[in-house]
């Protein structure tokens, strides 16, 4: 779902409201505030989408994941698996003792925290699982009827 359109619409609404002021300083302050709110609006809309995914997951046998495609979220249905994936590859002697320092943009860090919270995992566990999924061999499969995309209008 493309959030930029919705964020732009909210910014236009705020700018229109600010333009109703009688003095130019207030109009200019409203315009600047409207522009500055873009990133915050994006994060708040991601929170709403994440909460919707959790609510939907409670009513389906699998789970609904929020995945980011660039800056835009996608809701994806994932069937339940019988067992939780292991944190290390089978037969590996690696323990979870290796350390790495990673610097992330604040917005990406917030999105990772939201995703980890949705899965009920720590940020560290979520990152380890995401990295393992990224390193798994890719197999081509055709999936139909399992992907949800779009937006809800109330």
> What would the pLDDT profile of 62-85 be if each residue is shown by its tens digit?
888 888 888 888 888 888 765 445
pLDDT at 133: 85
Domain coordinates in residue numbering, the chain: 1-36, 42-148
For the chain (length 154 residues), average pLDDT per consecutive 10? 85 87 88 86 88 85 84 83 52 64 86 88 88 78 60 57
Count of helices and strands (H, E) across the chain: 5, 3
Give how far Cα 61 sits from Cα of 13, 78, 79, 126, 128, Å. Answer: 39, 9, 7, 22, 25
Strands of the 72-78 sheet, one edge to the other? 63-69, 72-78, 147-148
CB 138 within 8 A of CB 73: no
Instruction: Quote the pLDDT of residue 77.
Output: 86
Please state the pTM of the whole predicted model: 0.47
pLDDT of residue 148: 63
What pLDDT sits at residue 89? 54
pLDDT for 76 equals: 86
**Three-state SS across 34-86?**
HHHCHHHHHHHHHHHHHHHHHHHHCCCCCEEEEEEECCEEEEEEECCCCCCCC
């Amino acid at each position: 779902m493309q959030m930029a359109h919705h964020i732009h619409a909210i910014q236009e609404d705020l700018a229109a409201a600010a333009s109703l002021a009688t003095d130019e300083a207030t109009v200019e302050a409203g315009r600047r505030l409207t522009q500055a709110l873009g990133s915050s609006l994006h994060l708040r809309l991601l929170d709403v989408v994440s909460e919707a995914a959790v609510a939907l997951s409670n009513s389906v046998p699998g789970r609904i994941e929020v995945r980011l495609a660039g800056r835009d979220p996608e809701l994806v249905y994932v069937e339940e698996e019988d067992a939780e994936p292991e944190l290390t590859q089978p037969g590996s002697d690696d323990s979870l003792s290796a350390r790495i320092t990673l610097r992330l943009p604040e917005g990406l860090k917030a999105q990772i925290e939201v995703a980890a919270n949705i899965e009920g995992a720590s940020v560290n566990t979520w990152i380890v699982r995401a990295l393992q999924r990224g390193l798994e061999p890719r197999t081509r499969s055709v999936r139909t009827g399992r992907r949800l995309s779009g937006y809800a209008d109330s």
